[in-house]
Amino acid sequence: MLRGLLSRSALQARKRAVVKTLCYRLFMVTITVVVAWVVVGDAGDALNIGIVTNLLKTGTYYLYERTWDHITWGVSESGSGTR
C-alpha cells in the first residue's frame, strides 16, 4: 500500500502539488470573498477584496520563502535539513 504512495515520479508529485496549491488558493479566495461580502454588503467590492488580498498574500509568501532561503538555521551541511 505504501509502495504506491512512494513510487510516484517527481514530475507527478510536482503536478499534484501545483494542482493542490491552485485548488487551495481558489478555496481561500472564495472564503475571503464570502466573508468580505457579509461585512461590506457589496458583491463587487467583496470580489475586489478577495482578489487583492490573495494576490498580496501570494506575493508576501513568495518573499517569505525567498528570505528563508538565505537563513541557514535548521539546515544540515548536506542540504537535506535536520529533524
Q: What is the pLDDT of residues 66-75, one digit of tens each?
A: 898 888 888 8
pTM check: above 0.75: no
Q: Is residue 63 part of a domain?
A: yes
CA terminus-to-terminus distance, the chain = 25
Question: What is the domain count for the chain?
Answer: 1
- Average pLDDT score, the chain: 83
Q: Is residue 2 part of a domain?
A: no
State the greatest distance between any 2 C-alpha atoms of the chain, in Å, as a whole number.
54
Name the residue range of residue 40's domain. 9-68
**Taking a C-beta distance cutoff of 8 angstroms, is the pair 48, 62 a contact?**
no
The DSSP 8-state label assigned to residue 79 in this structure reads S
Helix (H) / strand (E) element for 36: namely helix 10-40
Q: Is residue 45 part of a domain?
A: yes
Q: Is residue 47 part of a domain?
A: yes
Q: What is the pLDDT of residues 8-42, one digit of tens each?
A: 566 667 788 888 888 999 999 999 999 999 999 99
Q: Is residue 78 part of a domain?
A: no
Q: Is residue 81 part of a domain?
A: no
